[in-house]
Structure 1
Amino acid sequence: MDFELTIIIPVYNEEDNLLRVQQELSGFMLHAKKKAKVLFVNDGSKDTSQKIIEEICSNTDAFEFISFDKNYGLSAAIKAGFDTANTSWVGYIDADLQTDPMDFNILLEYADSYELVTGVRANRKDSFVKNLSSKIANGIRRAFTHDGMDDTGCPLKIIRTDVAKKIPMFNGLHRFLPAMVLLQNGRIRQVPVKHFPRIAGVSKFHLWNRLIGPLQDCFAYLWMKKKYLNYTINRKG
């Protein structure tokens, strides 16, 4: 099959969500504006996630997986997905499905004009503390990166794969994908998308890694920006 979009789904102890993921993503693929497939990245789950993933993938070529030997974190899972993807576009959504896979079609409307299109969660259904800490963290990051993005933590994005593969990775970089695309002189856009409460599983983030972690990562980003190599070949002979 000539797939055009690989949707990365990082998985860490999401056994209660995976069958719903299969159902929702299968529904999206029937109506996707680009022919899509799913790539599960099992980030060292300790529950039955791997068994369920293998059962899902055994039934259709549109679902694939890679599995880590241990837990490396969200940034590593996304990076592994980028490195594995062989389609022209790569997307990303969380296994908790607090965002709607059908909204990938909203992002894809802008694919011809931008290298990265990210969702902005409208009317977020998270707790007051989670929303407040996310707002503060986004403000800190935006002050460092000047990327103009309001919600880089939104787990619904599409990126041109050749651009995604050039992004150098470090822990926490998933918050800086728009800024890293800008370093490649790429074009970025944010678009409002739906948001839902988590109905199964447990959030992997807390106050510490929503505030202190991103602040530390901002300094790592500034160092990387200073050292980042970006060039254009003008002529060849």
Structure 2
Amino acid sequence: MPVSTSPQLSVVVPVFNERDNVAPLVHEITAALRGRAADDGGNFEIVYIDDRSRDDTLAVLTALKAEVPELRVVHHESQSGQSTAIRTGVKAARGTWVATLDGDGQNDPADIPKLIAERARAASDIKLFAGWRVNRQDSGSKRWASKWANAIRARMLRDDTPDTGCGIKLFERAAFLDLPYFDHMHRYLPALMQRAGWKTVSVPVNHRARSTGVSKYNNLNRALVGIRDLRGVAWLITRSKITRTREI
């Protein structure tokens, strides 16, 4: 099956030590998008970014390329973290719009067409459609930590987003690449898009329990890093300036 040289949609998936989740997720993505009309996600590519996994994730991805022509694989030569992996994938993407998924399989690729449908009926100044996990399938401690983190973030940033930590998102590639880059920026995309003058919406999506592997983060690490990042994003917002222009 040939892949267009100019896909309209790029599905970007960062992974680190997810060898057992790679193949099932890739096949779910193709099942969700193949056969659709081009403007409904049917003209797509899948861009996996291996963040220098220590297991054989890269080998599994390389083997999958032979049976999934939409699949592209980018490998980090040094481990760089999720935000950098996402940005690497977006820079490598050829689509005008990008959908992101976490590599652990907890996001449901069947929700990508739902986000695309939301985009089709939305105003042109909405550049981010963020997934909202209304029924999270995580441990009680992780749900509790996320609840408090979201409450503090919403109070400080006023980004009107109930769930910024959800991995499934759909956004315009050019708008994303115009945002300031820093580690962990993927957790603040709604606030950063709004800072740039764009609008964002949250869309309820499915969420699944992790079927294999282990989480790469713990609540304490998230909290310590999050406090510093939150202060930084708040500072960026206070220093932002949007200038409307028109060509004469």
Question: Do the two structures share a fold, i.e. TM-score over 0.5?
Answer: yes
Tell me which stretches of 4 or more aligned residues in structure 1 moved more than 6 Å. none
| Cα displacement (A) at 1:233 | 2.6
| Cα displacement (A) at 1:229 | 5.2
C-alpha distance in 1 between matches for 2:82 and 2:206: 22
C-alpha distance in 2 between matches for 1:208 and 1:141: 16
| Cα displacement (A) at 1:235 | 3.0
Matches within 5 A, 1:54-93: 54-93=62-101
Read off the aligned partner of 1:4 and give its amino acid letter.
Q
Cα RMSD of the aligned pairs, angstroms, is 1.5
TM-score normalized by the length of structure 2: 0.90
Residues 33 and 113 of structure 2 are in contact (CA less than 8 Å); yes or no, is this contact kept in structure 1? no
- Residue in structure 1 matched with residue 24 of structure 2 by the alignment: 20
Task: Give deviations 1:173-197, integer Å, cap 9, x for gaps.
Answer: 1110011110121111001111111
| Cα displacement (A) at 1:39 | 0.3
- Gapped regions of structure 2 (runs ≥ 5): none
| Cα displacement (A) at 1:224 | 2.3
C-alpha distance in 2 between matches for 1:44 and 1:223: 32
| Cα displacement (A) at 1:31 | 5.0
C-alpha distance in 2 between matches for 1:109 and 1:215: 35
TM-score normalized by the length of structure 1: 0.94
Read off the aligned partner of 2:246 and give its amino acid letter.
N
Residues 10 and 77 of structure 1 are in contact (CA less than 8 Å); yes or no, is this contact kept in structure 2? yes
Read off the aligned partner of 2:88 and give its amino acid letter.
A
| Cα displacement (A) at 1:215 | 1.6
Query: Helix, strand or coil for the counterpart of 2:181?
Result: coil
Matches within 5 A, 1:1-237: 1=4, 2-30=6-34, 32=36, 33-34=40-41, 35-112=43-120, 113=122, 114-228=126-240, 230-236=242-248
Residues 29 and 37 of structure 1 are in contact (CA less than 8 Å); yes or no, is this contact kept in structure 2? no
Task: Give deviations 1:22-64, integer Å, cap 9, x for gaps.
Answer: 2211211225522221100111111101111111123333110
Read off the aligned partner of 2:27 and give its amino acid letter.
Q
Query: Helix, strand or coil for the counterpart of 2:20?
Result: coil
Q: Which moved more, 1:26-35 or 1:13-22?
A: 26-35
- The verdict on how the C-alpha distance between 1:170 and 1:53 changes in structure 2, with shifts beyond 3 A counting, is same
Read off the aligned partner of 1:152 and give its amino acid letter.
T
**Aligned sequence identity (%):** 28
Query: Helix, strand or coil for the counterpart of 1:17?
Result: helix
Read off the aligned partner of 1:166 and give its amino acid letter.
D
Residues 134 and 210 of structure 1 are in contact (CA less than 8 Å); yes or no, is this contact kept in structure 2? no
Read off the aligned partner of 1:30 and give its amino acid letter.
R
- Gapped regions of structure 1 (runs ≥ 5): none
C-alpha distance in 2 between matches for 1:173 and 1:97: 21
Q: Which moved more, 1:175-184 or 1:110-119?
A: 110-119
| Cα displacement (A) at 1:223 | 2.5
